[in-house]
Amino acid sequence: MTTPTEDPAALDRSDPAAEVSARAAAFRNWGRWGADDVLGTLNFIEPAKRVEAAALVTEGRVVSLAQAFDTNGPQKGWRRRTNPVHTMTDTGTDAERGNQGFPHGIGGADDVIAMPLQCSTQWDGLGHIFDHGNAWNGRRAGDVVTSDGDLVTGIEHAASVIVSRGVLLDVGRHLQPGSGELPDGYAITVADLEACIDAQGATSAVGRGDIVLVRTGQYTRTRRDGWGDYAGGPAPGLSLTTAGWLHRSEIAAIATDTWGFEVRPNEFDAPAFQPLHQVVIPNMGLTIGEMWNLDELAEACIERSRWDFLLSAAPLPITGAVGSPINPVAIL
């Protein structure tokens, strides 16, 4: 089998189906962890890896990597994705009026939130994307996800798994040292990733079981200029040609500060939609994070001259969900 190109200029931009198919076949992990596997590349996070990651904590500083969960978010309603709606069901006013029905003057407040599970900082679960009707590990998509949810690879299986060594690759600052922001539509290549690692030094070396965070700087731009088309519009992101690097590095998961992880518009003249997702989720079993806020972490890494840290990013154990909102934290 010919290894698919890692040069974006060599992609056949007229044939996304062939380019996706070649990478799906070359980098498929079906059966690697057995026929019943529900974790994919998260299997690379072994107990010893967590012990190694815990040893990276020297200051006890905690940095949240989450965007806000509120009505001022980026969503525009595409595919019924809306921003969170937060509603109070009991308030301080109710308590002042004494109409809550509690004894001896005690009062309280309660609230409820309604939101798509992928409207802000989140993980894509393994049941989120299919390839020609196939889900992760070669299962039929219809046998995995039904109206009852993801019956096989629901995000709840990862609830106690995603704690490991995190590595920040600040590609935005590496390639654009002035602004720290890649332009929309910039396709991050394997050469870019490796050059960023070399420039940042030994603590950004990527290996088995690591969780890689790629900062493009697009989220930074939205904080200055407004959301614009952040949700679904043009964005910097990983090139389809990075699929081989994602596979051979044996990382456990990867996340970016963009809506869609991969470069948008996608790299084809013919109609295409999120081809790297189609390769890495159902075929490779790679867990993907999107809409992470990596700015404070980037500043902290510069201050420390270190790019690795303990990362805890557990999804909510929502039974049968194909994704989950998260508040990932880097512990330095």
- Per-10-residue mean pLDDT of the chain, 332 residues long, equals 93 98 98 98 98 98 98 95 97 96 96 97 98 98 98 98 98 98 98 98 98 99 98 98 98 99 98 98 98 98 98 98 98 98
194 contacts: CB under 8 Å, gap ≥ 6: 245
Q: Do 169 and 309 meet the contact criterion of CB atoms below 8 Å apart?
A: no
Q: How far apart are CA 227 and CA 332, in angstroms?
A: 30
Nearest to 291 by CA among 67, 32, 56, 100: 67
β-strand partners of 308 = 167
Say which amino acid occupies 64: S
Q: At CA 52, angle to CA 199 and CA 188, rounded to 5?
A: 35
Return the pLDDT at 198: 98
Return the pLDDT at 99: 93
Q: How far apart are CA 33 and CA 38, in angstroms?
A: 9
Question: What are the φ/ψ torsions at residue 129 (nearest 5 degrees)?
Answer: -130, 140
- 63-81 burial code (b ≥16 CB/10 A, e <16): bebbbebeeebbbeeeeeb
DSSP 3-state of 39: coil
The DSSP secondary-structure symbol of 261 reads S
Return the pLDDT at 2: 86
Return the pLDDT at 64: 98
Q: Do 19 and 240 meet the contact criterion of CB atoms below 8 Å apart?
A: yes
What sign has the CA pseudo-torsion 297, 233, 252, 214? negative
